[in-house]
């Protein structure tokens, strides 16, 4: 990878020598003197007078922090994508189960209605044929699938917010949407109604 100092003409200025020392790969004063076309004694004096060592340490800390932050950000994005993929797959699987169970219940209810129209079966025979046990299993499967869908989609959060709004309104208060000039998002505030 090309560095800015690769194209500098000799002799380098004091600022250029410092930049190479502080921002480049670790280099000795002797090596920088040779690369810059300056005397080693000048390099040593400038390093001491301008605190090159402190600046170099500070730059390395900043560089390390920057690299760490970028790595965290990239990892966070990847994890967010993976979590979103898992949530989508979870939603799709539970929706498929819910849809299937709903179809089974509809088929069972239609069969029950057909049997109720028959003259050769009494109610006891119909109830025995269409036992509550199998409908209970279907009901449990439907409830589980629906609960998982609600969890994945955050439905409970929306239900809780709407319940809170209704309670606030029952207390005689109202919800107002207010756009804050310092923010791009809308904020919600509670106000009293007259």
Q: What is the pLDDT along the chain (194 residues), one digit of tens a residue?
A: 778 888 899 999 999 999 999 988 888 999 999 999 999 999 999 999 999 999 999 998 888 888 888 888 888 888 888 888 888 999 899 999 999 999 999 998 899 889 888 888 888 888 888 888 888 899 999 999 988 888 888 777 766 777 778 878 888 877 676 655 444 444 444 445 44
Per-residue pLDDT, 142: 92
Q: Which helix (H) or strand (E) holds 178?
A: strand 173-179
Q: Give yes or no: residues 171 and 137 share one domain.
A: no
Per-residue pLDDT, 179: 57
**Residue 167 belongs to a domain:** yes
Burial of 133 (0-12, 13-18, 19+ CB in 10 A): exposed
**Number of separate domains in the chain:** 3
Query: What is the domain range of residue 173?
Result: 154-194
Q: Give yes or no: residues 131 and 148 share one domain.
A: yes
**Residue 97 belongs to a domain:** yes
pTM of the model: 0.46
Gap between the Cα atoms of 52 and 121, Å rounded: 99
75: tokens are: 């990892």
What is residue 172's DSSP assignment?
T
Q: Which helix (H) or strand (E) holds 190?
A: strand 186-192
Q: Give yes or no: residues 83 and 126 share one domain.
A: yes
Q: Give yes or no: residues 36 and 46 share one domain.
A: yes
**Residue 55 belongs to a domain:** no
Q: Give yes or no: residues 88 and 124 share one domain.
A: yes
Per-residue pLDDT, 71: 85
**Residue 149 belongs to a domain:** yes
Q: Give yes or no: residues 159 and 141 share one domain.
A: no
Q: Give yes or no: residues 97 and 118 share one domain.
A: yes
**Residue 107 belongs to a domain:** yes
């Amino acid at each position: 990878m090309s560095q800015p100092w690769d194209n500098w003409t000799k002799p380098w200025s004091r600022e250029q020598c410092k930049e190479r020392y502080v921002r480049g790969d670790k280099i000795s004063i002797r090596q920088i003197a040779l690369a810059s076309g300056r005397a080693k004694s000048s390099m040593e004096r400038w390093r001491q007078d301008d605190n090159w060592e402190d600046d170099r340490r500070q730059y390395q800390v900043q560089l390390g922090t920057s690299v760490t932050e970028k790595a965290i950000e990239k990892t966070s994005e990847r994890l967010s994508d993976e979590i979103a993929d898992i949530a989508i797959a979870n939603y799709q699987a539970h929706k498929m189960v819910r849809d299937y169970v709903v179809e089974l219940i509809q088929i069972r209810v239609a069969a029950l209605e057909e049997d109720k129209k028959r003259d050769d079966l009494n109610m006891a025979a119909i109830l025995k044929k269409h036992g509550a046990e199998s409908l209970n299993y279907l009901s449990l499967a439907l409830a589980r699938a629906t609960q998982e869908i609600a969890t994945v989609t955050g439905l409970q959060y929306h239900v809780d917010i709407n319940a809170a709004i209704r309670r606030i309104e029952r207390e005689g208060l109202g919800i107002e949407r207010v756009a804050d000039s310092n923010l791009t998002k809308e904020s919600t505030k509670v106000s009293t109604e007259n």
